[in-house]
Amino acid sequence: MSDRKLKITINGIEAACEKDETILQVARRVGVRIPTLCHDDRLEPYGGCRLCIVHVRGVPRPLSACTTPVADNMAVTTETNTIRRIRKNLIELLLSNHPNDCMRCEKTGDCALQDLSYEYGVDGSRFEGEKWNLPVREANPFIRYEPNKCILCGRCVRICNEVVMAGTIDLTGRGFHAMPDTAFGKPRTLENCEFCGQCVSTCPTGALTDKKSIGKGRAYEMKKVRTTCGYCGTGCNLDLNVKDGRVVKVTSAYDAPVNHGNLCIKGRYGYDFIHSFERIKSPLIRKGMKFVTASWDEALEVVASRFKALLKKYGPDAVGAFSSSRCTNEENFLLAKWVRTSLRSNNVDNCARV
């Protein structure tokens, strides 16, 4: 088998690609936008929303770009009058059963369905019929589920099964009554849910939202500050969404090199300590029976003097260090190096040792 790259053309742009790539992957790499609602880079191609349809020369029908593999000398056109008409019809059908409450929806300004409706000039008035009138699910302490806003893209189900592998939810029911739900409609509890919020991170509409950030600001009002999660040594990147000097919620981007947009419950929802009134913001040293605030220089001098006194009186075997798995590998290495070189001791341990 030859390993040579294939050559395709997308809107007149020539691109070299691998044989296992899809049209959507190549288009994004060369800067050609193809709209989609059911696609997530973390998930396997699904082809459910059909908004990513494109015209391929020699093929009599539109093909979904997210599921169609490239072929040598393929010529792809992503925008034609027919394709725009089909996409507009699909969006109109989605809005036929979608609540018109964008003014108070938490996803306003960051909603893929809203953006596409604006782009294709759809207002949801063309198709009229029965609408869902289902209750909002509030049982989960971190996630609010509004099934009336679901567009059945399947992203929440797929990320729960493909990435988290928890199997908490699946598409239930048939036809008009189909919806993502737990087995027998049971509430999401610790018995069946990881509380990781992965489903929220992939939802393109306001069907799934973080309860902790409800009413605290729109996405465009927040400044994202990239940082590294401090709960373990994995090194996941996350974005602190800050408004008026306070962290409103935590998200993660696909370009995060370690976690690729994925987070666990601690990384996504464990940020309350940032603004806790009990948080220690400066070093404390003991004077008598009380702890008093000190500068870093003063605190480090106290630590160094105590170590010197212990080493002089008892020798290096009397001191050691206990590191944390919340630190990075590099930080744990530096601690071990400091103990062995400065304190002349081999007493180094870690909380994760079994």
Q: What is the pLDDT of residues 251-287, one digit of tens each?
A: 999 999 999 999 999 999 999 999 999 989 899 999 9
- How far, CA to CA in Å, does 18 sit from each of 11, 26, 254, 350? 19, 9, 21, 44
- Give the pLDDT score at 350: 86
Domains of the chain: 6-79 (3.10.20.740), 100-215 (3.30.70.20), 220-279 (2.20.25.90), 283-314 (no CATH), 316-354 (no CATH)
pLDDT score recorded for residue 354: 59
Cα 142 to chain centroid distance, Å, stands at 15
> Cβ(78)–Cβ(11) under 8 Å?
yes
Q: Which residues of the chain have pLDDT under 70?
A: 1-3, 354
pLDDT at 131: 87
- pTM for this entry: 0.86
Instruction: Give the tokens for residue 233.
Output: 């040594």
Could you please report the per-residue DSSP string of 46-100?
Answer: ---S-TTEEEETT-SS-EETTTPBP-TT-EEE---HHHHHHHHHHHHHHHTTS--
Distance CA 320, CA 336 (A): 9
User: 353 near 336, Cβ under 8 Å?
Assistant: no
Determine the pLDDT at residue 1. 42
Torsion, CA 152, CA 156, CA 157, CA 160, rounded to 10? 180
Could you tell me if 205 and 112 are in contact, meaning their C-beta atoms sit under 8 angstroms apart? Answer: yes
- Write down the pLDDT at residue 348: 93
